[in-house]
Homo-oligomer: A and B are copies of this chain.
Amino acid sequence: MAEESTTTADSVATDGKAGTPRALPEAEVCVGLLETMGLIRRFEEEAGRQYQRAKAGGFLHLAIGEEATIVGTVSAMRESDYLIGTYRTHGHAIARGTDPRNVMAELFGREDGTSRGRGGSMHIFDAERRFMGGYGIVGGNLPIAAGLALASDYRGNEDVTVCMFGDGASNTGNFGETMNLAALWSLPVVFLLENNLYGMGTAVERHSAVTDFSKKAEGLGVSGVRVDGMDVLAMRETVAEHIRIAREERRPTMVEAFTYRYRGHSAADPEVYRSKEEVEEWRKKDPIEMFAGRLQSEGVLSDSDREQMHERIEKRVLEAVEFADASPEPPLDSLYENLYVIGGQVRGWYAVDERTPTTHPGEAEREFGKEEEIHRLAEAGAAYAGQAAPTGRRPDRTTEDREAAKALPDEEEHEVEGP
């Protein structure tokens, strides 16, 4: 069923306006778009660096190369609209206006992080800016997006939900279920498929029988278009139109952004599934360079303007790192905070393991459950976070490995006794 190979930069289909370059919006809009893309790019490069320094842990999924898709989309949204994404959403939050300092602090797992260190890179959230999260489960955000849109529909207000997800997510059960529900109920949502040609290490032709994703959505009742995700103006214009359809015509649509990630799927992906040449080819149509070039050639942006922009960006990103570094780690006794809304129903944690700050009343009688002991043990556990450099580290391996290595007890302790 797969159509023509879609893994080359020039084979990109568009929304029809290819070639004919769009007229530029007002200067400061253009500059704003460029600066936001640049900020996200630089932020993520730095995040990668900090990750290598083990300042950030877990997985790190960078969207470097996809900035036009992110910024073009978000620039077409109102503040009151909802945005929801995946585990690759540092840029999405920043584009929505979240302070890079708080995003970096989340990567560092600190008090001032967007989720106070609970969520990490995969689970960024900013209620104030209606960035409804970062989700680690592929496809998990689709039904939630339908629910957000349902709320707007239920209240009869103008808020539109934009749901961003990947090509690989189109194979999850949630995709079919959610497209059908959104179409059946005419929900005001725009499904923005970030087609970066791979689901982890699997190329679109190898994971989806139909690789023209707007066709895939159409069969389920949601019409769509494909647009050049490397062209920030094309993204902005196309998404604006589809948001209008959601807001005014009250029906869901899909926009397939044809884009590319330069980096590996996560921080230490050896990238055996694609060639250096392919990556190079895509870098030639870099969304930031291309747009900056045009702004400069059309006189919207002078060399010194760009210079200053670089400096502003550099400053903000370095400030973000400093800020994150200075932010305290979450206190251990905050472990159970926000697990439940405490009230008439839930008057305590009712947890029974001995690390519970507020143990079940009944526990009181257990010598063992005494407060000091609880805190001593919490500290003892947390101390393992300070472990020395991992043994058996394999730089050519995936993140998972490196983390695994870190978490390993040392050699000797591994000689398991027994029969």
CB distance from A182 to the nearest CB of B (A): 8
Q: Are B172 and A184 interface neighbours, CB within 8 A?
A: no
The answer to the question of A255 belonging to the interface, with a C-beta cut-off of 8 Å to chain B, is no
Partner of A221, one of B172, B175, B210, B220: B210
**This chain's copy number in the assembly:** 2
Task: Name the segment of A211-219, A314-322, A405-413 touching the other chain.
Answer: A211-219
The answer to the question of A176 belonging to the interface, with a C-beta cut-off of 8 Å to chain B, is yes
As a 0/1 sequence over residues 165 to 194 of chain A, the CB contacts with chain B under 8 angstroms (1 = contact) are 000000111111101100110000000000
The chain B residue with its CB closest to the CB of A207 is: B184
Compute how far the CA of A176 lies from the CA of B217 in the bound complex, rounded to whole angstroms. Answer: 11
The answer to the question of A208 belonging to the interface, with a C-beta cut-off of 8 Å to chain B, is yes
A171: chain B residues within 8 A (beta carbon): 176-177, 180
The answer to the question of A18 belonging to the interface, with a C-beta cut-off of 8 Å to chain B, is no
A216: chain B residues within 8 A (beta carbon): 219-220
Q: Are A173 and B184 interface neighbours, CB within 8 A?
A: no
A183: chain B residues within 8 A (beta carbon): 1, 209-210
CB distance from A150 to the nearest CB of B (A): 15
How many of chain A's residues have a CB under 8 angstroms from any CB in B? Answer: 25
Most buried by B among A177, A180, A218: A180
A180: chain B residues within 8 A (beta carbon): 171, 208-210
- A residues 1-57 touching B (CB-CB < 8 Å): 1
As a 0/1 sequence over residues 219 to 246 of chain A, the CB contacts with chain B under 8 angstroms (1 = contact) are 1111000000000000000000000000
Q: Are A1 and B221 interface neighbours, CB within 8 A?
A: yes
Partner of A219, one of B184, B206, B217: B217
Q: Are A177 and B184 interface neighbours, CB within 8 A?
A: no
CB distance from A204 to the nearest CB of B (A): 11
Compute how far the CA of A210 lies from the CA of B182 in the bound complex, rounded to whole angstroms. Answer: 12
CB distance from A108 to the nearest CB of B (A): 36
A206: chain B residues within 8 A (beta carbon): 184
Compute how far the CA of A216 lies from the CA of B222 in the bound complex, rounded to whole angstroms. Answer: 11
A215: chain B residues within 8 A (beta carbon): 219
CB distance from A394 to the nearest CB of B (A): 32
CB distance from A213 to the nearest CB of B (A): 10
Compute how far the CA of A175 lies from the CA of B207 in the bound complex, rounded to whole angstroms. Answer: 16
Compute how far the CA of A146 lies from the CA of B114 in the bound complex, rounded to whole angstroms. Answer: 43
CB distance from A171 to the nearest CB of B (A): 5
| For the complex of A and B, 7 pairs with smallest distance between CB atoms | A219-B219, A173-B173, A176-B176, A209-B221, A183-B209, A1-B221, A184-B209
CB distance from A35 to the nearest CB of B (A): 39
A208: chain B residues within 8 A (beta carbon): 180, 184, 221
A179: chain B residues within 8 A (beta carbon): 209
Partner of A177, one of B173, B210, B219, B221: B173
Partner of A174, one of B1, B173, B210, B219: B173
A220: chain B residues within 8 A (beta carbon): 176, 209-210, 216, 219
A218: chain B residues within 8 A (beta carbon): 219
A222: chain B residues within 8 A (beta carbon): 209
Compute how far the CA of A217 lies from the CA of B216 in the bound complex, rounded to whole angstroms. Answer: 9
Compute how far the CA of A206 lies from the CA of B181 in the bound complex, rounded to whole angstroms. Answer: 10
